[in-house]
Amino acid sequence: MPGPVSDSYDPVWGTADVANDVRDNIRDMDRVLTRLLNNSPPRYILDVIRETDGPPIPNSLCERQLRILRYACRVALEEEDI
């Protein structure tokens, strides 16, 4: 039988340090997106979904940022309880 699980273990990403790095980068992207949205506060997601698309918002996201966003989307979909 395996020994006790260390406090520094994260079940999704392995070590707590790696989990913190992932979360920190996702938080950074949240700040970038907030800036691109003119610092407007978050809105109720169903209100957003029910809207029609407006004009595109010019942005300058790099490949790294887009990959972090895609990762966050995929994690959200895997954890969604629908």
**Domain residue ranges in the chain:** 9-51+59-79
HEC string for 15-80: EHHHHHHHHHHHHHHHHHHHHHCCCCCCCCHHHHHHCCCCCCCCCCCCHHHHHHHHHHHHHHHHHC
Residue pLDDT, tens place only, 31-58: 999 999 999 999 998 999 999 998 888 8
Backbone angles phi, psi at 23, to 5 degrees: -60, -40
Q: Which amino acid is at 1?
A: M
Can you give the pTM of this predicted structure? 0.71
